[in-house]
Amino acid sequence: MSRPDPIISPAIITRVKEFGESDLLVTFFTRESGLQKGVAKGARRSLKRFVNCLDAFCLASLEYTPKKQRDLCFIHSGKLLEAHQGLRSEYGSFSRASFIVELAETLFPPGVSDPRVFDLLKDSLKALSDEGGNILIPITFEARAMAIGGYRINLEKCCICGRAYKGEGRAVFVREKGGISCLGCRQESALSPGMEPESIRALRQMQDNDLGQLKGLDLSGGCLKEIKNVLKLHREYRLEKRLKTAKFLD
Amino acid sequence: MGIYPPPLEKLIEQFSRLPGIGQKSAARIALYVLKSDRELAENLASALVEVKDQIRLCSVCFNLTDNDPCSICRDQSRANGVLCIVEGPGELLAIEESGVFKGRYHVLHGVLSPLEGIGPEDLKISELFQRIEPEGIKEIILATNPTAEGEATASFLAKSLAEKGLKITRIALGIPMGGDLKYMDSLTLQHALKSRIPLQS
Ligand SMILES: [Zn+2]
Ligand SMILES: [Zn+2]
């Protein structure tokens, strides 16, 4: 069997670990192949092949040979494209970036790739770096990434009686159905929180649009809180785990 | 189950638990120990136990020490109001070996890493704050590594320490000695230019 040819591709570095004496173990996303793990030989010593590009949340151009079956891929060289300096200089942004990266890794493990997620992750990291104070970014990322990953919340009709939701009046999020219901079908409670029409409209936009199309999305604090809470309940129910990074979000 | 007699298998298994040592290296080391003098085995065994019994963390700076407080924290000539913050004992040793720094240290024992579940309360950060007043600290040098996590940790500390009225400095980041500008990335060059210093005779 011949060795596959090396690929040169933009990659988002998600994790870097020291490996042996002078190597680095690197986890990264590419647009075409999703999440991958590779080893960069001699990366801790090389001042030429890997100049400061193998660091968490950097966008780099990596030259690598894809793995065979379960092996690690082999990273030959890299060049920094975007360091996302704003994530390093502001811990709040760094925590938010960590959250979206962990969510992306969880929803799209090796072998499950979607080019839309690469673009979303890339745009969201850049936005967090440029305007870290914007708390909408991790929320819109979560809504969209869950939808791309197959966990879109059905906001079109009542998930119990089937009646279409016309955008009027409060509705209730039903965790086990991954949808909303009318107030007649389910009462509001801590695990089935109610949502304002404005929240439902905004969440629908977040699920179906790229970050760039959401510019100008203006939400009241109350709606933001409703959406955040619904997304958290939805995520923990669907993924059946708590993300390590979630506790550092607030 | 193994191909070696059980006591040898046991030793190989213990060595293979060490970081960076695989099955093959573990077997090689174990066979080496076996064919060496009894003295080597005895010295190795007693050194292992001694290190566990005698080395602990300094209750002031959290460096490794066999004496609490450590020799640096006991040295009055180093109480100059300057505190150098490092990630771990290895970094402390590197700075200490350079011989340039004359103040005291504070070892964080890690960096902030939400992806690994490591937050501020998992590092020796509250202990750092408790030292500032009693020791009359005037300057804090943030000497965490220039990785994403190290930088984020330095940013966090700088922000948390901001109201204390201290001078807060960050070690210079930029072109390494022996480096070559042609191969530098844009972030490094940006740092190097930002932290340029005047040359005066
Ligand atoms: Zn209904
Ligand atoms: Zn000490």
Q: Which residue ranges form the domains of chain A, and what is each CATH number?
A: 7-83 (2.40.50.140), 86-152+188-248 (1.20.1440.120)
A89 inside 8 A of chain B by CB? yes
Beta bridge partner(s), residue B164: none
* A115-130 and A136-148 helices, crossing angle to 10°: 180
CATH number of B14-54: 1.10.8
A87 contacts on B by Cβ (under 8 Å): 148, 152
ipTM of model: 0.90
CA distance A122 to chain B (A): 16
Q: Do A223 and A197 touch, CB atoms closer than 8 A? A: no
* Rounded to 5°, angle at Cα B189 from B185 and B192: 145
Q: Which two tokens stand for residue B175?
A: 């072109």
CA distance B189 to chain A (A): 11
CB within 8 Å of chain B, chain A residues 96-115: 98-99, 101-102
User: Where along chain B do the CATH 3.40.1360.10 domains lie?
Assistant: 79-170
**Predicted TM-score (pTM) of this structure:** 0.89
Q: Which of A110, A114, A126, A138 is nearest to A245 (CA)?
A: A138
Most A CBs within 10 A among B21, B118, B183, B187, hence the mutation to make, goes to B187
Residue contact B147–A56, C-beta within 8 A: yes
Average pLDDT over residues B186-192: 86
Q: In this model, does residue B201 exceed pLDDT 60? A: no
Give the 3-state secondary structure of residue A92: helix
| pLDDT score of A43 | 86
Question: Nearest by CB to A245, which of B115, B180, B190?
Answer: B115
| pLDDT score of A67 | 78
A57 contacts on B by Cβ (under 8 Å): 148
| pLDDT score of A69 | 67
**Rounded to 5 degrees, what are φ and ψ at A19?**
-140, 115
Q: How far is the CA of B46 from the centre of ligand 2 (A)?
A: 26
Through-space distance between the first and last CA atoms of chain B, rounded to whole angstroms: 73
Domain B79-170 has CATH 3.40.1360.10: yes
Q: Which of A101, A55, A98, A57 is nearest to A78 (CA)?
A: A55
| pLDDT score of A131 | 85
Tens of pLDDT, residues A47-69: 678 877 899 999 999 999 987 76
Q: Which of B11, B51, B43 is nearest to B27 (CA)?
A: B11
Tens of pLDDT, residues A189-208: 999 999 999 999 999 999 99
Through-space distance between the first and last CA atoms of chain A, rounded to whole angstroms: 51
Average pLDDT over residues B122-132: 97
B148 contacts on A by Cβ (under 8 Å): 55-58, 87-88, 94
Average pLDDT over residues A137-160: 96
User: Where along chain B do the CATH 1.10.8 domains lie?
Assistant: 14-54
Cα separation values, B177 from A193, B93, B173, B180, Å = 59, 19, 11, 9
CA distance A186 to chain B (A): 36
Q: Do A158 and A182 touch, CB atoms closer than 8 A? A: yes
Give the 3-state secondary structure of residue A143: helix
CB within 8 Å of chain A, chain B residues 88-107: none
Q: Which two tokens stand for residue B155?
A: 């940013």
Q: Do A196 and A170 touch, CB atoms closer than 8 A? A: yes
Residues B70, A62: Cα–Cα separation, whole Å = 45
| DSSP code for B118 | B
Which ligand is in closest contact with the Cα of B69?
A: 2
